Structure 1
Amino acid sequence: MEKFSVSVNIAANSNVTFVLTHEELLQRKMGQYEVLTRVKPKQPIQEFQIVANIYEPQGISYVDTHATFLSNELLPLVEKTVTEKKAHIAFSPSLEQQRKCPGCGETLLDGDFIINYDVNRATSLGDIQIINGYFVHFFAPPNLARVPTNVVFVIDRSGSMWGNKIRQTREAMLAILEDLKEEDYFAIILFDDQIDCWKETMTKATKENLSEAQEYIKSLSDRGGTNINDALLRGVRMLLTDKAEKRIPARSVDMIILLTDGMPNYSETNPKKIQANMHAANSGNMSLFSLGFGNDVDYGFLNVLSQENKGLARRIFEGSDATLQLKGFYDEVSSPLLSEVNLRYPDNAVESLTTNHFSQLFNGSEIVVAGRLMDNKLDNFLVEVVGQGFEEDFQVQSQTSALDWGTIYPEEEYIFGDFTERLWAYLTIQQLLEKSKSGTMDEKSNATARALEMSLQYNFVTPLTSMVVTKPETEDKTDSPLIANKMTEEERQRADRFSGLAHHGYSSPTYLVDGDPHFVIELPDKDDALCFNINDKPGTIFTLVEDTKSGILVNGQIIGDKQIPVDGKINTYFWRFGIIHKSFGVRLEVSTTSISMLEDGKRVNLQWYNTTSLKGDNVDILLTKDRSLTITLKDSVKFLILLHKVWKDHPFHRDYLGFYTLDTHLLSPSVHGLLGQFYHGIEYEVTNLRPGEVPEKPDATMFVKGHELNVTRGWQRDFRRDVKNGENITCWFIHNNGTGIIDGEASDYIVSGLFKTV
């Protein structure tokens, strides 16, 4: 999905309507096209309708409609009419039909509305459409024999694959091995900082071998670092050696499927060097397909790596269906029909061709080529397609001619008017964008400039452009256009990663301790905040959160400066936290140098210099390199720990940590601790505002917990948005280690160990 941000000002009591026109080249996969509409309105809609009209000159072979939210009540509301070349689908539930219950505000519409269909494929040449001097060639020949494959599975088992990822990988691999054909050969290479091969050569996919391989996969577990470079090169050597020694068929397709969730951090770690090593070792002999698991993987690195080796990359999104995504991708590429496919057109008739050479054509997929005709009046031209099949070479040629789609579909002329030209432009831009990521500096620069020029000419939103939002003309002419900024991949990941972490606009309060150590209690319902400092000697361990009912405990240990500064004041900071969830069997130790997690007796060690994520049964962890650690306990509180790195040769200061809590309303009323006691709010009253010692920091009198305190209006820093500089939060500062606002004294919260309560 793409994400856009649009900001507009709307006058009071007025209406505004946004109309978004979306164009998409449907990709044929598994023998069908899919039109997917994500439906998540969050509330019943006064006028809701989905209407789809399909026009296919080749003829429609079938149409299937389904949705993840269609109940027995909603299913009859889907109207479907299909003729030889047209299909009409409509879904328009009334306001009451959308409701989960009579009169309530919850909606049944929550999921995906999906239309799948395919077209008749009578000729081996495919379908060629010529309109207004541009042509598009859709090539998907029927009735071809499958070519055997030699596939090496290169699987990441590093520590970041812990939890759901490794489990889902096991499940997917067991299903994939079940589907291998007996004429195929396969190998399994597991890697972390070490490389382990199931067998040293390719193995024929007999029932006995597959059964043995499945037993091997069942023992797959996570450990260690990420040595992508050596694992890939081992797979290349295995394929090349077995091919040279004729242990695998000569007329077969070689491929490597890489599954990883992280950045290389062992052996060769430079992505560009890994790409160069792989390209040099491969020499164009095999295809590399890369599957990037999760949000933290460097997808750009995998994408270039695959494209330089006759393959493609695919992102696998974490979730309950990740196993199906992995299996589905393999199903797409596991049945090659042709290799080295070339689509040829007369040199004297066609120019500005999009890519017309393809390494493979897979069963159920489709090749699309577009180009511009030199003579707009050309009526016939010769088309030829050649490729390598399983038993013999494939070759077909024929002449084609332009059709008047306006006559064939007079009512839908607007659809066919210039679609071939826009499709040609779209494919050209996509290929230029790919070239802009590889090649020499001049080639990258030229490709980028040309892609930008065409994007602006044809009004395409690309990573190089923004979406222009125009307002209807008024008596004062058209208003200035608005720009809707498209998020880059990095921005999208960051938005997903940190959504809900910024205090602005977050629905529940945040409680934090950061700096020397400054405690901040946000109170959104009062549009205010309270803050206090806790000072003690370095090495002291405090209880920050203790919820005996849920079994959650968080302790923190402070550390002092390297030496006493000239002013004699010793600054202390939190540098280590111990987190326990007894009910889940979870224990984490987080320090400025490392992270260690124990869940149900299994330990995982992480380092701050990596970006990674772990998804367990009861706890999720998201580690952003040298920045932050997000810990989400199932159905409970979320903790965010920030790493503040200090110049290592600084004469006084050390690295330290900040601790932030979210979703605290999910804890029990008995929660306590230096932070925990404030999770369910605090009542206070501030009066008698008066000048303080510093003009910009007035004093006041606060009545809280039966005490009358002198407080000062000041500010503390929130570092969630900016780890280096932070943002000021204005608050009422309580002096003397929080005396009067915390229960008891600060010394009451001192414990003897990082995971102890006394």
Structure 2
Amino acid sequence: MHVTSNVSNRFAHTTVTSRVKNIATKSQEATFSIVLPETAFISGFIMEVDGKNYTAYVKEKEEAKKDYDQAVARGLGAAHVAVSARDSNRFTVSVNVEPETKAAFYLTYEELLKRDDGHYEQVINLHPGQPVKDLSVEVLITESRKIIDLKALPLRSGNEIGDDKGDLDPRADLAIINDKTAVVKFSPNIERQKQLAHVLGTNEDEGLAGQFVVQYDVERDPNGGEVLIQDGYFVHFFAPTELAPLPKHVVFVLDTSSSMWGQKIEQLKEAMNKILEQLHNNDLFSLVEFNSNVKVWDLNNAESSVWYPTSGDNFNFRDKGDEVSFEGLKFPSASVVNPDNIKNAKDTISQLVPGGGTDILTALRVSLHLVELAKDHKVDEVNRQPIIVFLTDGDPTVRLTSTEEISNKISEYNVGLRRSPIFALSFGSGADRDFLQKLALRNSGFSKHIYDAADAALQLEDFYRQISSPLLANVTFKYEPSVTSLTKTEFPIHFEGSEIVVSGWRGTDLIEPPVIHGWGVGGKLSLKPAVIERSVSNVERLWAYMQIKQLLEKKETADKDKEDLKKKALDLALKYSFVTPVSSLVVVKPNATNAVDTEAATGGSHVPGYPLRAFSAAGPPAGYNSYKFAQPIFDDFSQQYPSPPAYPAFSRIPAAVIPSLAFASPNAEEEEVSVEEETTQAADLLTILPWLKTILNDNGILDLPSGKYKLGLNETITDSVDCPKTPLNEAGHCSLLHSCPQVHSLLISSDVFVQHVCILKNEYAGVCCPNDS
């Protein structure tokens, strides 16, 4: 397995080559599985089996869906992308390999490296599924500016935040060619792969399963950034370094509904204690908790804290409309960050007790009202940048429960110069992540999922660090009139350690440098880039990628013109061969074309004998899926194939909108469709669903968030009980787990299973099963 990544001006082009040989005396299925970073998109894929090439290309989504349905109807095998590590996507394809036959896989993906906390990171996921005789990673970095702070960090699991472990040092070779060029190499032998796997807590026989991370930054223009041009296209990187942080007013909006009971509320308390310590002196902050009602805390006098609606009102406002009025109500003022107020806030946080429902509309309306009050009644005549940090673990259940209406109303309230960015944090598996993403995007913020794990507090702390130091507000990029096809040029806020990227087209070289306007500590300012340089990376593809990404974001948040935005995104996706939510990746076979539709997937592994199909499910699992090769083990081999065969140029999309990708197996026309018995043998259930062992106690009882229930391996229940949501996102009937093998390939973790659990006879935990099964 060889991974080669060329990073040119933050734009990474990565090729993964995997070669295997079936040393058994019978045909076996070889599985090629790669975890992609969240910002990456696939730009090419080729399988070479027994000397034959199968090349993927991009096709319009609905057209590909028809081909997929036909392929499924004919019983052709398929595989798909699944999510594995947090905020990532896993590309998986299986192929039948004859005895003593070799196979090679070539996957290429590209990504624009995002700058966070003052550096770029190239994250390469290594999960070959077995120890590999010849495993190597090579990262070549070429920049237009001097490379600084180059590091190869200790390997990561991809699912936990924590201190770097010295025994996970990759012992990589870092070669500085010159100021602007460097090469990083990582080539662990089999013994070292097993050592690293042991420290990472994975099975040594399944090989290394972790992330190799290269981190660096570049020296930059301290004011207006740098502009790179190529063939009429340009990209502008903007990350000023000599600006003081803006003073700010942070409103923390914390869900304390009953679903936060237990570990979640404890993790929230731990995280808030650390976040409060990161607040800057003389900033303002407000503390809001919400459940069925909303409470604004007075940190100096808890008795003066204000409930809205006032205490004593009926807690359930579902039938009382959605209008919110603050007439005649006096809320506590925002608190200045100082040692006494931080101590009081920590004491307040420690007293939070979950209970009640989830009134999201009122919580956000109260928060925006607090922002208005702070601006109208300045503490010290300082203009402060408002920021709302909104955390919830569930759907709205009180007052207005339509997420679409909530998003519309909050966006209507949050307008003008007083507009406050809203950063939405989803917590646990119950939160509506699509709604929170839309809410944040429509209100100049972003959303992030906080995984319900041991490091949840660290995840929250890490998030806040990204937004703790705003440098500029109302940032606008102005270019000469001849510049067209610009990506987004207006940004409500820019944070220290991050980077704004703008791209466009002029046709010839830029004559006049752009001007960046914004509001800093000293008021309005204007900045210009010092240098316009020629780029060696593909600026046109970067421009097209950014256009598609922003068109799709507009489509998700727009109230109208959705079809027009979709068409524009599709036209660009087909022109540049991007895999997007409106296009699909198709694999071509000799004399046949089999396509599989793509939908956002969050997990799955092919269980032999079970049909596969594209699917949607909420929330990636906390752990990696198993995808090791079938036994006996395959041999890897080197120097058997030349460089990857040529394929058309493709490009990339962010993983936030990467769909699942499915392919017809190259040998599918020879495969026979086996019919599974309706009930899986109980003895095989734990093998097919290995995560069951983590929630099944010694007495055979499932320990679920809703209670303790029997698995019923030896039971047969014929009761007809309807349920609202199968793993295929449709209504179904409740069935014992072993009686519904059709969904086993979709239940890739206990978290996903819990979302579709139903109870039979008040004592058995079943799963919501499709009605046609």
- What TM-score, normalized to structure 1? 0.64
Runs of 4 or more consecutive aligned structure 1 residues displaced over 6 Å after TM superposition: 69-74, 101-104, 497-501, 551-555, 608-611, 624-630, 638-641, 655-658
Structure 1 residues 149-160: aligned runs within 5 Å: 149-160=248-259
Structure 1 residues 328-367: aligned runs within 5 Å: 328-348=462-482, 350-367=483-500
Residue 175 (structure 2) pairs with residue 81 (structure 1): yes
Structure 2 residue aligned with 1:268:
400
1:151 is matched by which residue type in structure 2? V
Q: CA deviation at 1:164?
A: 2.5
Local SS of the residue matching 1:201: coil
CA distance in 2, matches of 1:298, 1:211: 33
Q: Residue 376 of structure 2: which of 239, 244, 249 is its match? A: 244
Structure 1 residues 660-679: aligned runs within 5 Å: 660=765
Could you tell me the percent identity over the aligned residues? Answer: 31
Structure 1 residues 623-638: aligned runs within 5 Å: none
Structure 1 residues 276-295: aligned runs within 5 Å: 276-284=408-416, 285-295=419-429
Structure 1 residues 436-515: aligned runs within 5 Å: 436-441=555-560, 443-469=561-587, 480=592, 483=595, 485-488=597-600, 491=615, 493=617
Q: CA deviation at 1:277?
A: 1.8
Structure 1 residues 262-661: aligned runs within 5 Å: 262-284=394-416, 285-348=419-482, 350-373=483-506, 375-376=507-508, 378=509, 380-397=511-528, 400-403=531-534, 405=535, 416=536, 419-441=538-560, 443-469=561-587, 480=592, 483=595, 485-488=597-600, 491=615, 493=617, 522-523=681-682, 579=709, 642-643=757-758, 659-660=764-765
Residue 306 (structure 2) pairs with residue 175 (structure 1): no
Q: CA deviation at 1:639?
A: 9.2
Paired residues of 1:226 and 1:264 also in contact (CA < 8 A): yes
Task: Structure 1: state its 5+ residue gaps.
Answer: 406-415, 472-477, 508-518, 527-548, 556-575, 582-590, 594-607, 612-623, 645-654, 662-718, 727-758
Distance 1:317 1:105, change over 3 A: closer
How many matched pairs?
A: 544
Residue 138 (structure 2) pairs with residue 51 (structure 1): yes
Structure 1 residue aligned with 2:14:
none
Structure 1 residue aligned with 2:243:
144
CA distance in 2, matches of 1:52, 1:334: 32
Paired residues of 1:551 and 1:580 also in contact (CA < 8 A): no
CA distance in 1, matches of 2:197, 2:338: 58
Local SS of the residue matching 1:463: coil
Structure 1 residue aligned with 2:740:
none
Q: CA deviation at 1:278?
A: 0.8
CA distance in 2, matches of 1:254, 1:287: 7
Distance 1:160 1:340, change over 3 A: same
CA distance in 2, matches of 1:386, 1:639: 49
Paired residues of 2:226 and 2:531 also in contact (CA < 8 A): no
Q: CA deviation at 1:214?
A: 0.4
Q: CA deviation at 1:21?
A: 0.9
Higher relative contact order (CA 8 A, sep 6+): 2
Distance 1:101 1:31, change over 3 A: closer
Task: Structure 2: state its 5+ residue gaps.
Answer: 1-87, 157-163, 299-331, 603-614, 632-677, 686-696, 712-718, 738-746
Q: CA deviation at 1:397?
A: 2.7
Q: CA deviation at 1:6?
A: 3.6
CA distance in 2, matches of 1:217, 1:258: 15
Deviations 1:347-369, CA, capped at 9 Å, x for gaps = 12x10000011001100000000
Deviations 1:636-663, CA, capped at 9 Å, x for gaps = xx9998548xxxxxxxxxx9668358xx
Paired residues of 1:256 and 1:286 also in contact (CA < 8 A): yes
CA distance in 1, matches of 2:279, 2:121: 26
Q: Residue 151 of structure 2: which of 44, 51, 64 is its match? A: 64
Structure 1 residues 172-251: aligned runs within 5 Å: 172-199=271-298, 200-247=332-379, 249-251=381-383
Paired residues of 1:63 and 1:116 also in contact (CA < 8 A): yes
Distance 1:395 1:43, change over 3 A: same
Local SS of the residue matching 1:43: coil
Distance 1:277 1:640, change over 3 A: closer
Q: CA deviation at 1:181?
A: 1.1
CA distance in 1, matches of 2:504, 2:736: 50
Local SS of the residue matching 2:128: coil
Paired residues of 2:472 and 2:519 also in contact (CA < 8 A): yes
Q: Residue 95 of structure 1: which of 187, 190, 204 is its match? A: 190
1:382 is matched by which residue type in structure 2? P
Local SS of the residue matching 2:557: coil
Paired residues of 2:476 and 2:516 also in contact (CA < 8 A): yes
CA distance in 1, matches of 2:702, 2:277: 46
Q: CA deviation at 1:320?
A: 2.3
Paired residues of 2:145 and 2:218 also in contact (CA < 8 A): yes
Q: Specify which structure has the higher proportion of strand.
A: 1
Q: Residue 229 of structure 2: which of 127, 130, 133 is its match? A: 130
2:617 is matched by which residue type in structure 1? Q
CA distance in 1, matches of 2:768, 2:528: 62
Distance 1:643 1:20, change over 3 A: same
Local SS of the residue matching 1:339: strand
CA distance in 2, matches of 1:233, 1:495: 28
Distance 1:232 1:495, change over 3 A: closer
CA distance in 2, matches of 1:210, 1:71: 32
Structure 1 residues 684-703: aligned runs within 5 Å: none
CA distance in 1, matches of 2:247, 2:192: 51
CA distance in 1, matches of 2:369, 2:148: 44
Distance 1:161 1:628, change over 3 A: farther
Q: CA deviation at 1:12?
A: 4.4
CA distance in 1, matches of 2:445, 2:208: 38
Q: CA deviation at 1:133?
A: 0.9
Distance 1:268 1:420, change over 3 A: same
2:494 is matched by which residue type in structure 1? L
- What TM-score, normalized to structure 2? 0.63
Q: CA deviation at 1:16?
A: 2.1
Local SS of the residue matching 1:310: coil
1:317 is matched by which residue type in structure 2? Y
Distance 1:102 1:421, change over 3 A: closer
CA distance in 1, matches of 2:118, 2:274: 20
